[in-house]
């Protein structure tokens, strides 16, 4: 929303550079920017995703990294690992981009007339899976609560890097369909999903899907490659013309790649002090540009940062 020709003020407003506190006498120092907070983070606040939970999806335009939420959807994670090991996704495609909803990929033969005989075989992967829409609350998992309420759930926060809602009354918790979260497509039957068709949220969080679909992970790098695509013309956003589909060159588990080709990325721990500071900065942002801090945040407006690790393996 800022104009760019005021470079100095822009840097002040969005905090791209470390700036001294304003000398104003009657207002607090500006809220630190995300970048400022991350620069002060400690190495121990970052984690390398387990390479068995890290999917590397290669498109012609670049790399999409998806971290599997193995503690929330363990059976789906295991099935997707099997599919990746079988190179199931190689040569399949992004088949649907529905504005303000999802980008979906899988077997294009699903769209071409419905002949099950034309579908790519799932190999050793299961054709059906228990739903895994919710899971019993596990007090051993880390929990970073958000304090501002949520229209949909009694409690929301972060656990193991993922946005989570939970209901103490039912004893259940579940992954939330925030921007960048990945869900497993299914037919009507709750057990008809198997992870062979996936979709990432590219718009306002479609919370009505919570507890109705298995969320299997989160895109931790490469969202623009999924979100910045032409929308499909129909009401559900399918690419009516097969030529519009975007081919998936390959999907591999990071653990199946040679060490030199494994993504060197770290994710900020959501139970770290720096993540807590990021939440507070988002809630109470006040600086030269933001005169009125919201004082609040919603779950899906909090981004969990990822960073590249230099090739020498040391943190930046």
Phi and psi for 76 in degrees, rounded to 5? -65, -45
Among residues 229 and 265, whose Cβ is nearest to a copy of itself? 229
SS3 300: helix
Q: Does residue number 288 form part of the binding site for a copy of itself (CB under 8 A)? A: yes
Among residues 32 and 180, whose Cβ is nearest to a copy of itself? 180
Among residues 48 and 231, whose Cβ is nearest to a copy of itself? 231
Q: Residue 14: exposed, middle, or buried by beta-carbon count in 10 A (0-12, 13-18, 19+)? A: middle
Q: Which residues neighbour 265 within 8 Å (Cβ) at sequence distance 6 or greater?
A: 48, 49, 65, 220, 221, 306, 307, 308, 309
Q: Does residue number 11 form part of the binding site for a copy of itself (CB under 8 A)? A: no
Neighbours of 160 (CB within 10 A): 19
Among residues 11 and 309, whose Cβ is nearest to a copy of itself? 11
Tell which one of 273, 290, 308, 316 touches a copy of itself (CB under 8 A): 290
Which residues, 61 to 100, sit near a copy of itself by CB under 8 A? 95, 97, 99-100
Q: Which of 294, 302, 300 is nearest to 276 (CA)?
A: 302
Q: Does residue number 57 form part of the binding site for a copy of itself (CB under 8 A)? A: no
Q: Does residue number 220 form part of the binding site for a copy of itself (CB under 8 A)? A: no
Among residues 5 and 60, whose Cβ is nearest to a copy of itself? 5
Among residues 206 and 263, whose Cβ is nearest to a copy of itself? 206
DSSP 193: -
Among residues 139 and 151, whose Cβ is nearest to a copy of itself? 151
Which range in 66-74, 80-88, 195-203, 260-268 contacts a copy of itself by CB under 8 A? 195-203
Tell which one of 188, 243, 259, 311 touches a copy of itself (CB under 8 A): 188
Whole-number minimum distance, CB 37 to a copy of itself, in Å?
15
Contact 178, 205 (CB under 8 A): yes
Tell which one of 150, 155, 271, 280 touches a copy of itself (CB under 8 A): 150
User: If binding means CB under 8 A, how many residues of this protein chain bind a copy of itself?
Assistant: 83
Neighbours of 267 (CB within 10 A): 21
Which range in 12-20, 52-60, 64-72, 242-250 contacts a copy of itself by CB under 8 A? 12-20
DSSP 203: S
Whole-number minimum distance, CB 65 to a copy of itself, in Å?
15
In what side-by-side order are the strands of the sheet with 172-175? 135-136, 172-175, 162-167, 155-159, 144-145
Q: Which of 177, 157, 180, 178 is nearest to 168 (CA)?
A: 157
């Amino acid at each position: 929303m800022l104009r760019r020709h005021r470079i100095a003020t822009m840097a002040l407003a969005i905090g791209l550079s470390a700036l001294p506190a304003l000398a104003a006498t009657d207002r607090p120092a500006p809220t630190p920017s995300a970048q400022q907070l991350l620069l002060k983070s400690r190495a121990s606040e970052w984690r390398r995703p387990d390479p068995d939970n890290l999917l590397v999806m290669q498109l012609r335009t670049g790399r999409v990294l998806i971290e599997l939420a193995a503690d929330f959807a363990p059976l789906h994670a295991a099935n997707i690992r099997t599919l990746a090991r079988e190179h199931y996704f190689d040569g399949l495609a992004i088949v649907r981009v529905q504005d303000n909803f999802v980008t979906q990929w899988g077997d294009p033969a699903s769209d071409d007339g419905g002949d099950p005989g034309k579908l790519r075989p799932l190999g050793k992967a299961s054709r059906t899976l228990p739903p895994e829409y919710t899971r019993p609350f596990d007090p051993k998992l880390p929990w970073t609560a958000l304090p501002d309420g949520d229209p949909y759930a009694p409690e929301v926060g972060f656990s193991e890097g993922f946005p989570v809602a939970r209901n103490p009354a039912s004893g259940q918790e579940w992954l939330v369909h925030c921007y960048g979260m990945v869900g497993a497509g299914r037919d009507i039957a709750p057990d008809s999903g198997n992870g062979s068709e996936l979709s990432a949220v590219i718009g306002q969080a479609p919370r009505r899907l919570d507890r109705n679909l298995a969320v299997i992970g989160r895109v931790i790098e490469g969202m623009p490659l999924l979100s910045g695509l032409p929308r499909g013309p129909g009401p559900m956003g399918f690419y009516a013309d097969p030529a519009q589909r975007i081919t998936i060159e390959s999907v591999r588990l990071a653990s199946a790649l040679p060490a030199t080709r494994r993504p060197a990325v770290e994710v900020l721990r959501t139970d770290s002090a720096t993540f807590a500071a990021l939440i507070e900065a988002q809630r109470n942002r006040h600086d030269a540009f933001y005169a009125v801090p919201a004082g609040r945040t919603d779950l899906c407006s909090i981004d969990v940062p990822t960073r590249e690790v230099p090739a020498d393996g040391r943190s930046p």
